[in-house]
Structure formats: C-alpha cells, structure tokens
Structure 1
Amino acid sequence: MTQTERYQDLPLEEVIGDRFGRYSKYIIQDRALPDARDGLKPVQRRILYAMHKEGNTNDKGFRKSAKTVGNVIGNYHPHGDSSVYEAMVRLSQDWKIRHMLIEMHGNNGSMDGDAAAAMRYTEARLSAISSELLRDIEKRTVEFIPNFDDTDMEPTVLPARFPNLLVNGSTGISAGYATDIPPHALHEVLDAVLMRMDNPQATVEQLMTVIKGPDFPTGGIIQGVDGIRKAYETGKGKIIVRSKADIEPIKGGKEQIVITEIPFEVNKANMIKKIDDYRFDRKLEGIADVRDETDRTGLRIVIELKKDVQATGILNYLYKNTDLQVSYNFNMVAIHKRRPTMMTLPTLLDAYIEHQKEIVTKRSEYDLQKANDRMHIVEGLIKALSILDKVIKTIRASKDKRDAKNNLRESFDFSEAQAEAIVSLQLYRLTNTDITDLQKEESDLRKLIDELTGILTSPAKLKKVIKKELAGIRKQFAEPRRSIIEDKIEEITITREVMIPSEEVVVSVTKEGYVKRTSIRSHAASNGQDFAMKESDYLLFEGNLNTQHTILIFTTGGNFVYQPINELPDIRWKDLGQHLSSIVPLDANESILAVYPVEDFDQDATVLTVSKLGQVKRSALKDYHVQRYSRAIKTMNLKKGDSMIFAGLMTTQNELFIGTHNAYGVRFPVEEIPVTGLRTAGVKGVNLKDDDYAVSAVMIDSEEKQDLVVVTHRGAAKKMKLQEFETGSRAKRGVVMLRELKSNPHRVVGVIGAGGGEEILLETAKGVRSPLPVSNLKTVDRYSNGSFILDEATDGKVVAVYRVEKKE
C-alpha cells in the first residue's frame, strides 16, 4: 500500500504565529517564571522532589550531585544536565538565596562569578528548611501529574510550608515576561502572612509595619522606602542598593575605604577590576591601591587612598560610577492560576494563604481517612477480644484463612477489614495489656477524629492550625535581618576636587593648537625660557593654574572645547605639546581663537562671541559647565560662509566695540545683546556693506582707561582714544576710523583694546613677524591712517595681528 503525501497550504505567518504562541505559553508556564504558591520554577521543583523521593534529605548523608542530576533528567526534566546542575548549584549559593534549599559539599562557585566544580566532584542534600517545602507531600496535599514519559508521577506544586517566593525571591526572563522578586527576611514575611490572615483587608501601609522591605543575602544598604511601597502596591518599583563601607585611618596620615557588604547579584571580581581601572587609567587620582581581602571570615575589599585625599568624595564617585551602588527594579510577575500575573504584596500573601488552606484541608482529609480506617480496625479488635473464646473457636473450626474470615463476618458481623486484622493478629496481642492499649488508642483516635473534623468544618480552626505551624517555622528558622533600610535615596554629588588632587601647573596653548600642562618644577628648571613650539607658531595662552580647574578653548568654527586641566597631557616645558585635534576632533579649517581658564562656573559672568558676518551673542558662563566633553561643543550657530572672530569672558565690561575690514567701528552697550543658550545664532551687532566683514571685537569697561589700536593690511598702526567713538546702539554701520584713500586704501586687519603695557605682534603673508609695543604709538584721531610699521613691498601684506601679554 503506497502512502499518499499530505500537505496543508497555510500562510507562513499563521504557522509561525501558532508555533511561537505554543512555545511562548510553554516557556511562560513551565520554565522561566515561578509559581506564586511555592515560589519555584519547574526545574527547581523537580530537583527538590527528586531529592526528597530518593531520601537525599537533611537528616542523612550527602550524595553525589551527578546522581541527583541523572535522576532528575531521567525521571522528570527531559533537558540538558547542565541546566539542571546550574539550577541545583544556585539553590545552594548563600549569596544568591536568602535561605539555601540545598546544602552542597565542594566548590559551588563564588561571588566572583567562578563556576562550580563539575557535578561529579560535588555532593549535595536537601537543607532543613527545604524539608518544610516538601512536608506532607505524601498526604495527597498537592496535585500530581504524569511525568514526560508516563512512567512516574510528579507534583504540580509543592506544599511549601513557608512563603518561599517572598523569602528567596526569584528572577527570570520568558517570552514577553520577565520577573524580579527580591528576597525577604523569613520572620518578616511570616509576620505579614499572619497579619493578612487576621485582617484580610490589611493595606500595604499596615503590612509594611512588619515587612520592612527586601532583605538580600549579601546585606547592603537599601534606600528608598517609597520605591518599596510602590512595588508592594503595584508590583513595580525601584530601590537603590549600596555597599556597606567604612572609612578607616591608616598610618602615614592616610585613609582607606573598607567594604564589607556589596549589592545583591553583583560580581565582586568585575566590580573590583572596574575600581582598579579607574586608578590605572588615572580617572580617579586619589586611589593608591585596591585589594580583595575576602577570606573564610567574610567579605572585605580595601581601597587604599593617597595622602590628603577626601575619602567621602572618592566613595561617592565609586557609588555613582561602579557597582558599589546599583538600582534594583521590582517586577513581581508570577504564575497565578496558570497565568503570568503582576503580583502585589497583598495578592502574593493571599495566593500563599489560599494555598496553605488547601494544603492543610487536604492533609486533614487524608489524616481523617487514615484515622477512620484505623478506628474501624481498633473497634473490631476490641470487640474480638471481648468475645475471644468464641472467635478462637470459630477460627479453629475453619478450613483456611479465607474461610476463617468469612465465618467471622457471618457469625459476629465483622467487616472484611476487621476480619483480616483479627486473623492476622499475633498470639502475644491477646494479653490483658493489649486490651488497655487498644482502648487508649481508641480514645486517642476519637480525639484526633474530632480535631480533624473540627479543622475541616471550622474555618477558624483551620486558620489557627496554619498560624500555629507558621509560628513554629518562624521560631525554628528565623534569622536576623541582613540589609539595612534607609528612608530616602541619597543624592550623590561629585565635585571635581574629590577626584583630582590639587596641584599647581603651568598650562600653555599655542595658536596652532598645541596644548600641554607642565609641572612647576619643569617650568622653573627652564626658567620659563626655551618653550618648545614650531617656528610658524606662537604662544596664545600661558598661565599658572590648578589641576582642579578647567580651560575653555574657543575656535573659529563657532565651537568651544571644555578641557579639564588634570586631563591635559603632562609634558616638559622644552617638549612640544599635544595637538588639540588628538584630544577632540576638529575641522581642518578650524583654528583657535581664545583660551580662558575657569575656576568657578557659577560666577556672575557671560561669554560673548562675535562672528565675521557681524552676529553677536551672549551666554551664561554656567552653561559652559558640561558633563560630556569628548568632542567640540557648539557655542554659536553660524551661517554657511561665516566664522567666529571673537570670544570673550565678560565680567565687569559693559560695552562692546566691533571693527570691520572696511574701517567702520561701532560701539554699543552689551545689555542690547540678550543672554541666550549655547546653540543660538545671536543677534546682529553691526550693519555691514556687501563687501565688508567684521575683523575684531573689543570688550570695554567704561570705568577704565582704554585705547584702541588699529592695524591695517599695508603695515600701518595707530592708537586712538576710545572717546573718538560715541556709544550708540547695535546693528548700526558705525563711524569710520581711517581716512579714506582713493588709491590703495587701508583695510583693517585687527583692532585691539590696549591699556598701554601690551605688545602687539604683526604677521605678514611672507611670514615676517614684527613686535610692536603699544607705548611706542602716539595717540591720533579717527581720520589719521597712523604710522607705517612694516613695508608692504618688502615684508608683504599684514594678514594677522595678535596681542601678546607682557610677562611680569
């Protein structure tokens, strides 16, 4: 007979949707999420049940883990042995599980993330408390279903005589669902169960008078009671868990931070490596050494600090940037009534209480059945002993055991079970003492039957039994709380002073972009001479600064570079610095305009910038204090073809002068420039003709005496009084500052504000540089073209003019 091919024509999305739906349902219900009643995932339940059934319990010796794993995968869990063994190891790790359910001999891993020894090397048995999860399982208290190959039966849930889900917590990821339930202190959870049993309407507020919050096996400090309350009310909430750290003095006037508890589920080795990386990469200068001194007496991590370093600040930095402090997010999803459900604290407690009522009811039914069966036998034996001679006579007259049982039933109205008990009776049981024992047993059975009937008929008695048994577990297994709970989440503020030791250095920046910091010693050894730079370059900025300060470097591209001084390369005075483009990416045509050191960004100051096309803007200095500074940051939005020609740090100055290429000058109050954010284009500062552009800006303090020095492309320079320019308003064309020539007119290269002691450097297209002390210039009026400093024919056109500060 030939077999015909069958195929179905179905849309792919329908097939995949159906298959994935079935798979998801299996993953959710039978793999990754815990049951709300016993707090176990299927693999954990199967491990515990298999060990219990094999007698691998707390009152007996340890047994090879491989034997248990083989038993579990052979009978109940048809998956890989590694998944079973890993689940088994986790149940034995006292830093993962608040009350270990399995005791293990041998290497069962470590907080450093080390794997456990192979299962052939380790031995295990159930712990004392896990016996409470399995207690009464033989009394038909839970539902059993056939195992995967129908050769055995396995429980769908364990009796769980303590609320394991809250006590040990759970974590898991399934299809579309994840769960994160933290561990809690056993005595607190039991108190909450008892409160909820007494008052089924108990609110989260009331429950939190006994169940304070999570209690992690690794201890630590929990911050944020509001987050705990929210999680208990909704199933979701966030708390902060931080390490327990003490600051201890050590010899040499130094201090060390000693950590004795770390957050739950943090890998200790990785955390220590990250702290040490901060030391090695010099991101945190104050750390001298990091050591792991953990031994069998307990966890101990020592962070030794350098002299005169503020330990609290270092600790705060580590809290913020390493796993010394982590956030824990509650996501209390569990399988409740065969469905994944977001559980609140009351619903978790109620699910457990309902489960216990069911367990104790079924156990009482089982015990009552057993007691009634025994009572029936005892009544038969007492009756038989009261007519012993007749019974013996009847038995002796019978042919065999079957006949004897039938005769007893017919003659004396015994039941089948009673007749079986009588014919099986041993001769020594016919003594007087045995009748007394039977009567006592009958009395005890009556009491037991009355008690069990009471439990099954009275909800109050049922509740009393559950409460009594929970109180017994509380007394036997309660441990002191390990995690400390603090009401508020502490706001961590990190000051740069903490991370960076205070050191005086010389910072230098050249026009072509070479930056460096130099130790005072190296600078002094060179006596400030022989500064290393290229011939075409010159020193734009040099200053004695502190490593805790910052410099702002402004560029022609409308950007600024935020550069902490401690992160500048430490280079000798006689060696060339590092180019700025190797620190932050810059455009090829972008050059440095100005450098300003900043000690305090909160001071009352603004940054004023001017563009070639006459735009001006002001921004508050505090806006320039940024957290991320790996690239240049926009300070002025420029149009295409525009560039920034000036950046100034404005404190007491109250006016601005702008000079243009075609020799116009405009002066106006800075109040006319609104203070805006960093990424704005500003407002018009000067009204330019089509062929004109701004070349310079000068910030003016009207209280101070100040002159203006104008340099032209033909090599002429002149000094004017500021009073030559009246204060007007912005966006005007301004007034001329040179006499107009019909042939070869002078064009302005730069205007510099001078107090008298400065030196000006003129640079020509041929590379000629000519220094000009401002004091050498006579003061002239606006209509003069000044004195020739350079000869245009021989030296070339002047292309740039720089102001050089004279050193004291």
Structure 2
Amino acid sequence: MTQIERFQDLPLEEVIGDRFGRYSKYIIQDRALPDARDGLKPVQRRILYAMYHEGNTNEKAFRKSAKTVGNVIGNYHPHGDSSVYEAMVRLSQDWKIRHMLVEMHGNNGSMDGDSPAAMRYTEARLSAISGELLRDIDKRTVDFIPNFDDSDMEPTVLPARFPNLLVNGSTGISAGYATDIPPHALHEVLDAVLMRMDNPDATVDELMKVIKGPDFPTGGIIQGVDGIKKAYETGKGKIIVRSKADIEPLKGGKEQIVITEIPFEVNKATMIKKIDDQRFDRKLDGISEVRDESDRSGLRIVIELKKDVQAAGILNYLYKNTDLQVSYNFNMVAIYKRRPTMMTLQTLLDAYIAHQKEIVTKRSEFDLHKAKDRMHIVEGLMKALSILDKVIKTIRASKDKRDAKNNLIESFSFSEAQAEAIVSLQLYRLTNTDITELQKEEASLKKLIEELTGILTSATKLKNVIKKELAGVRKQFAEPRRSVIEEKIEEITITREVMIPSEEVVVTVTKEGYVKRTSTRSHAASNGRDFAMKESDHLLFEGNLNTQHTILIFTTKGNFVYQPINELPDIKWKDLGQHLSSIVQLESDESILAVYPFENFDADASILTVSQYGQVKRSALKDYQVQRYSRAIKTMNLKKDDSMIFAGLVTKETELFIGTNHAYGVRFPIEEIPLTGLRTAGVKGVNLKDKDFAVSAVLLDAEIKQDLILVTQRGAAKKMRITEFETGSRAKRGVVMLRELKSNPHRVISVHGVTGGEEIILETAKNIRLTLPAANLKPVDRYSNGSFVLDESSDGKVLDVYLKQVKE
C-alpha cells in the first residue's frame, strides 16, 4: 500500500508564532516560574515528591543522589540528568536557600562557584522542614495528574505546611517573564500569615511590623526600607545589599578590613579577585594584601591595608566598585491560578492562606470519611460481640467465607463491611475485654468526627487549626534573622585623598609625549641630572607633586587628558618614560601643548584656549574634574583643519595677547571671552588676513612686568615692551610687530611673555638647538625687525621655539 504524502501550505509567521506560543506557555507554567502556593518549580516539586515516594526522608539513612535523579527522570521529569541534579544540589546549598529542603553528604559546591561532586559520589535525603512541605500529601489534599507516560501519578502542588515561596524565595527566567523573590525569615513570614488571617485587610505598613524585609542565607546588611515597602506593595522594588565588614587595628599603625558576610548570590572567589585587581591595577594603592581566610567555622575575608591608609575610605570605594555591595531588584512573579502574576505581599499571603484552607479542608474530609468508616466497623463488632454465640453458630453453619458473610448480613442485618470485619476477626479477640476497647475507640471516634465536622462547617475552627499548625512549625523551625535591615540607603562619597596614599614624587612630561612619575629617592640619587629623553625631545613639564594630585595635559587636537598622578607609571629618573598614547588613545598627528598640575579643582579659575584660526574660549576649572578619563576629552570644538595652539590657566590674569604668523598682535581683556562649557568652539579672538594664522598667545597680569619676545623663521629675535600694544577689543586685526619686507619677509614662529629670568630655545630644520637668555635682548619698538641670532642659510629655518625657566 502506497503512503500518501500530506502537507499543509501555511505562512511561516503563523507556524512560528503558534509553536513559540506553545513553547512559551510551557516554560512559563511548567518550568521557570514557581507556584504561588508551594513556592516550587516543577523540577523541584518532582525531586521532593520522588524522594518522599521512595522513602528517602529525614528520619532514614542517606541515599545516593544518582538514584534519586534516576527516579525523577524515569518517573516524572524527562529531561537531562544535569538539570535535575543541579536543581537538587541548589536545594541543599545553605548559602543559596534559607531553609535547606535537601540534606546532602559530600561536596555540594561552594560560595566560590565550585561545581559539586558528580551525583554518583554524593548522598542525599529530605530535610526535616521538607517533611512539612509534603505532610498530608497521602490524604488526598492535593490534585494528582498522570506523569509524562501515564505510568504513574504526580502532584500538581505540594501541601506546603509553611509559606515556602517567601521563606526560600525564587529566581528564574522564562519567555517574557522573570522572577526574583528574595528569601525571608520563617518566623516573620508565619507571623505575617497569622496577622493576615486575623485581619484580611491588613496593610503593608501593618504587615511590615512583623515581616521586616528579606533575610538572606548569607546575611549581610540590607539598606532601603522604602524599596522593601514598594516591592511589597507593587511586586517591584530595589534594595541595597552590603557586606558585613569590620575594621580591625594592626601593629605599626596599620588597619585591616575583615568581611564576615557577603551579599546574596555573589561569587566569593570572583569578588575577592575583583578586589585584588583594584590593587594590582593601581586603582587602589592603599591595599597591601587580600586573603580568603574562610574555613568550616565561617566566612572571613581579610583586606590588609598599607600604613596610614584610612580603612573607612577604602571600604567605601570597595562598596561602590566591587560586589561587596550590590543592588537587589524585587520582581515577584509567580504562577497564580495557572497564570504568571506580579504578586504583592498581600496576594502572596492570601494565595498561601487559601491553599492552606483547601489543604486542611480536604485532609479533614479524608480523615472524617476514614473515621466514619471505622465507626461503622466498630459498631458492627460491638453488635457482634453482644450476640457472639449466634454469630459463631451462623459462621460454623456456613460453607465458606462468602457464605458466612451472606448469612451474617441476612440474619443480623450487618453491612458488607461489618460482615467482612467479623469473619476476619481472630479468635483471641473474642474475649470480654475487647468490648471495653471498642467502647473506648467508639468514644474517641465520636469525638474525632465531631471535631472534623466542626472544622468543615465552621470557618473559625478551620482558621484556628491552620494557625495552631503554623505556630507548631514556627516553634520547631524558626531561626534568628541573619540579615540586618537599615532604613536608609547610605550615600557613598569617595575622596581621592582617602584612596591614595600620600607620596611626594617628581612628575615629568616631554614635548614628544613621554610621561612618568619618579620617586624623590630616585631623583635625589641622580641629583636631578641625566634625565632620560630622546635627543630630539625636550622637557615640557617637571614638578614636585603628590600622588593625590592630578595633571591636565592639553593637546593640539583640542583635547585634554585627565591624569591622576598615582596612576602614572613609576619609572626611574634615568629611564625613558611611558608614552601618553599607551595610557590614552591619541591621533597620530596629535601633540602636547601644555601641562598643568592641580591639587583639586575648587579654585575660582578657568582654562583659556586659543586655536590657529584665532578662536578663543574659556571654561571653568571645575568642569575639568571628570569621573571617566580612559580617553582624551574634548576641550575645544575645532573646525576640520584647525588646531589648538595654546592652553593657559587663568587665575588673576586680566588680558590676553595673541600673535599671528604675519606679525600682527592683538591685546584685549579676558572678560570679553565668555565662560562656556567644555565642548564649545569659542568666539573669535583675532581677525586674520588671508593665509595668516595665530601662532602664540600670552596671558597678561597687570601686577607683573612682562615683555614679549618674538622669533621669526629667519632666525631673528626681538624683545618688546607690552606697552607697545594698546588694550583694544576682541576680534580685531591688531597692530604690526615687524616692519613688512617685500622679499623674503619675516614670518613669526612664536611670541613668548618673559619676566627676564627665562631662556628661549630655538630649534632649526638642521637639528641645531640654540639657547638665548631672555635678558640678553634689549627692548625695541614694534617696527624693528630685531636682530639675527641664527643664520637661516647655514643653520636652517627656525621650526620651533619654546621657553625654559632657569633654575636658581
């Protein structure tokens, strides 16, 4: 017989949508999210039920984990053994679950993220408190459904005689939903359940008088009562979880930070490595050593500090930059009435209370039915004993057991069940003493039936039974709270002075971009001589600074580099420094203009910058204090072909002088340059002729007598009084500084302000370097071309001019 091939022509989006919808429904309802009633995901429920069903309970011996995993996979959960074993291991980890549901012998992992031993090596059994989750499951208290192959039955939910979802919390990710419910203290949750039962309208504020907030198995400090309250009211909220840390003094003026509790779900080994990386990467110079001293007696991490380092400041830095402090976000989603629901505290408690009412009702119905059945049998036995001789005569006259039962039913009106009990009675029971035992049993059964009937007919009695049983669980399993709750989230402030040990160093930056810090010992050993530098290079900045200070390095591309001194490479005086491009990324044609050191950025000062196209701008010094400085930061927004020629620190200077290549000079008050943000382009400072461009800028202070020295490409130099230039306004062409020559005119390389104690260094195209003391030049007027200090034809054109302060 030939098989007919069938196919359907369907749109792909329809098929994918339908299949993904089914898959999503499955993983939402039956995999990743916990049930609001027993707080368990299906795999967890199946593990606990399989262990219970196989008698692997708390009062019995441990059993190989592999056997349990095999039972779970074979009977209830047809998935990979690793997923089942991992879920089982998690239920046994006391740093992940507040009240362990599985007890395990052997290696069940660690807080360092170590994997547990294979399931063939470990042994497990249910914990005592798990017995409360499963108690009364055999009394038809919960619905059972066929397992995956219809060979057995499994529960849809456990009786859960304590509110497991709030006590142990849950975490999971499914399609479109995720859940994060933190664990809580058992006694607080039970108190909240009891309060809600007594007062079904109890508010979150009232409930929070007994349930203070989460209680993590790893302890720690929880900050933010407002976040807890919001989470309890809406299902979403944020708290801060902080490690418990103490500062202990050591000999020699040192201190150490000792951590004894860490945040929930934080990997201890990874956290310690991150702390040590702060030390290794020189982000935190105050730490000398990080040790993990944890053992069987408890967790202990020691952070040993260097001498005279403030431990409180280091701890604050670690709180802010490592997992010593983390934020925890409530996302209380659970399966409620077969749907994923965002749960509030009240709905969680109400779901549990409703579940318990159902459990106790079904259990009472089961027990009542059983008690009535037994009462019926007892009544039959008592009746039989009262006419014992007739009963025996009837039985003896019968052919077999069936005939005897029929004769008893016909002769004495016994029921089928009573007749079965009578014919099954052993001879030794046919004594006079048995009637008294039966009468006692009848009395106790009457009492039991009355009690159970009362529970089933009275809502108050039902509630009292639940309350009494919950109080029993509280008495047996309550543990002291582990996490401390603080009302406010502490604002962490970090000062660099606290973070970085104070050390005096010598900082140098060269024109070609080599930077380093050198210890004062290395500098003194060389007596400040034999500084390592390339022949073509020269020193742009040298200063005695502190490791708690910062330097700003300005570049020709309109950028600045924010460089804390403590993060500079520590290099000997006689060794070449580290190039700036290895610290931050620079463009290939980007070079350094100026370097300024700062102890802090609080001064009432500004940074003034000038571009080749004559743009000027000014920004407040405080704007230059940045938090992220792994790359160069824009300080002047330049046009495509423009470049920055000057960056100066304005403190009490009142005027700015700009000199141009075509020998024009303009002088105007700094007040004319408005204060703007970092990334602005500035305003026009000088009005340039065609092909002219600005070459230099000089800040002028009215209190300091200052002259200007100008150098041209032909090797001419001249000194002028600043009074040669009248103060005008911004954006003017200015006045000439040289007499105009028709052939081979002088072009200005630079203009520098001098007070008399400086040296002017000229560098030519033929690698000749000439030192010219500023005092050697006599002042001349604006129209003079000055005097030649180099011969252009033999020495080459002047390419660069810079100023060098003469050390006294």
1:186-335 to structure 2, matched below 5 A, reads 186-335=186-335
Equivalent AA in structure 2 for residue 182 of structure 1: P
1:646-685 to structure 2, matched below 5 A, reads 646-685=646-685
CA distance, structure 2, for counterparts of residue 350 and residue 671 of structure 1: 70
CA distance, structure 2, for counterparts of residue 585 and residue 404 of structure 1: 104
1:22-53 C-alpha deviation (Å, 9 max, x unpaired): 11211111111111110111111111111111
**Secondary structure at the residue paired with 1:167?**
helix
1:68-94 C-alpha deviation (Å, 9 max, x unpaired): 111111111111222111111111111
Equivalent AA in structure 2 for residue 44 of structure 1: Q
CA distance, structure 1, for counterparts of residue 495 and residue 726 of structure 2: 46
1:719-777 C-alpha deviation (Å, 9 max, x unpaired): 22222222222111222223334444333222111222222122233332222222222
**Secondary structure at the residue paired with 1:609?**
strand
Q: What TM-score do the two structures reach when normalised by structure 1?
A: 0.97
1:719-730 to structure 2, matched below 5 A, reads 719-730=719-730
Equivalent AA in structure 1 for residue 705 of structure 2: K
Equivalent AA in structure 2 for residue 546 of structure 1: N
Match of residue 110 from structure 2: 110
CA distance, structure 1, for counterparts of residue 744 and residue 118 of structure 2: 92
1:270-669 to structure 2, matched below 5 A, reads 270-669=270-669
Q: What is the CA-CA distance between 1:543 and the residue it aligns to?
A: 0.8
CA distance, structure 2, for counterparts of residue 28 and residue 759 of structure 1: 79
Q: What is the CA-CA distance between 1:714 and the residue it aligns to?
A: 2.8
**Secondary structure at the residue paired with 1:442?**
helix
Match of residue 81 from structure 1: 81
Match of residue 694 from structure 1: 694
Match of residue 167 from structure 1: 167
Equivalent AA in structure 2 for residue 283 of structure 1: K
Q: What is the CA-CA distance between 1:676 and the residue it aligns to?
A: 1.2
Equivalent AA in structure 1 for residue 437 of structure 2: D
Match of residue 140 from structure 1: 140
Equivalent AA in structure 1 for residue 400 of structure 2: D
1:550-588 C-alpha deviation (Å, 9 max, x unpaired): 111111111111122222222222222222222222222
CA distance, structure 1, for counterparts of residue 22 and residue 456 of structure 2: 40
1:209-239 C-alpha deviation (Å, 9 max, x unpaired): 1111111111111111111111111111111
Q: What is the CA-CA distance between 1:697 and the residue it aligns to?
A: 0.8
**Secondary structure at the residue paired with 1:759?**
strand
CA distance, structure 1, for counterparts of residue 680 and residue 389 of structure 2: 117
CA distance, structure 1, for counterparts of residue 575 and residue 8 of structure 2: 80
1:783-798 to structure 2, matched below 5 A, reads 783-798=783-798
1:581-640 C-alpha deviation (Å, 9 max, x unpaired): 222222222211111111111221111000010100011112212222222211111112
Task: Name whichever of 222-231 and 709-718 sits farther off.
Answer: 709-718
1:93 corresponds to 2:93: yes
Match of residue 153 from structure 1: 153
Equivalent AA in structure 2 for residue 335 of structure 1: I
Structure 1, unmatched stretches of 5+, are none
Match of residue 748 from structure 1: 748
Task: Name whichever of 540-549 and 135-144 sits farther off.
Answer: 540-549
**Secondary structure at the residue paired with 1:372?**
helix
Q: What is the CA-CA distance between 1:715 and the residue it aligns to?
A: 2.4
Match of residue 21 from structure 2: 21
Q: What is the CA-CA distance between 1:341 and the residue it aligns to?
A: 1.2
Equivalent AA in structure 1 for residue 422 of structure 2: I
Equivalent AA in structure 2 for residue 558 of structure 1: G
Task: Name whichever of 413-422 and 274-283 sits farther off.
Answer: 274-283
Task: Name whichever of 243-252 and 185-194 sits farther off.
Answer: 243-252
CA distance, structure 2, for counterparts of residue 472 and residue 463 of structure 1: 14
Equivalent AA in structure 1 for residue 453 of structure 2: T
Task: Name whichever of 396-405 and 167-176 sits farther off.
Answer: 396-405
1:388-441 C-alpha deviation (Å, 9 max, x unpaired): 333333333333322222222222222111222222223333333322222222
CA distance, structure 1, for counterparts of residue 798 and residue 293 of structure 2: 68
CA distance, structure 2, for counterparts of residue 389 and residue 570 of structure 1: 112
Match of residue 707 from structure 2: 707
Task: Name whichever of 619-628 and 192-201 sits farther off.
Answer: 619-628
Q: What is the CA-CA distance between 1:265 and the residue it aligns to?
A: 1.3
Equivalent AA in structure 1 for residue 683 of structure 2: V
CA distance, structure 1, for counterparts of residue 533 and residue 382 of structure 2: 117
Q: What is the CA-CA distance between 1:471 and the residue it aligns to?
A: 0.7
**Secondary structure at the residue paired with 1:189?**
helix
CA distance, structure 1, for counterparts of residue 362 and residue 270 of structure 2: 49
Q: What is the CA-CA distance between 1:786 and the residue it aligns to?
A: 2.5
Q: What TM-score do the two structures reach when normalised by structure 2?
A: 0.97
**Secondary structure at the residue paired with 1:252?**
helix
1:119-157 C-alpha deviation (Å, 9 max, x unpaired): 122111111000000000000000000111111111000
Runs of 4+ in 1 over 6 A off after TM superposition: none
Equivalent AA in structure 2 for residue 590 of structure 1: E
CA distance, structure 1, for counterparts of residue 390 and residue 743 of structure 2: 156
CA distance, structure 2, for counterparts of residue 576 and residue 85 of structure 1: 58
CA distance, structure 2, for counterparts of residue 380 and residue 174 of structure 1: 58
Give me the CA root mean square deviation: 1.6
1:464-513 C-alpha deviation (Å, 9 max, x unpaired): 11111101100110000001111111222222223322211111111122
1:677-716 C-alpha deviation (Å, 9 max, x unpaired): 1111011111111222111111112233222222223322
CA distance, structure 1, for counterparts of residue 301 and residue 668 of structure 2: 63
Q: What is the CA-CA distance between 1:383 and the residue it aligns to?
A: 2.3
Task: Name whichever of 431-440 and 345-354 sits farther off.
Answer: 431-440
CA distance, structure 2, for counterparts of residue 765 and residue 51 of structure 1: 89
Equivalent AA in structure 2 for residue 320 of structure 1: K
CA distance, structure 2, for counterparts of residue 106 and residue 481 of structure 1: 27
Equivalent AA in structure 2 for residue 184 of structure 1: H
Structure 2, unmatched stretches of 5+, are none
Equivalent AA in structure 1 for residue 304 of structure 2: E
Match of residue 803 from structure 1: 803
CA distance, structure 2, for counterparts of residue 537 and residue 547 of structure 1: 26
1:161-198 C-alpha deviation (Å, 9 max, x unpaired): 00001101111112222111111100011111111111
Equivalent AA in structure 1 for residue 614 of structure 2: G
Match of residue 34 from structure 1: 34
**Secondary structure at the residue paired with 2:383?**
helix
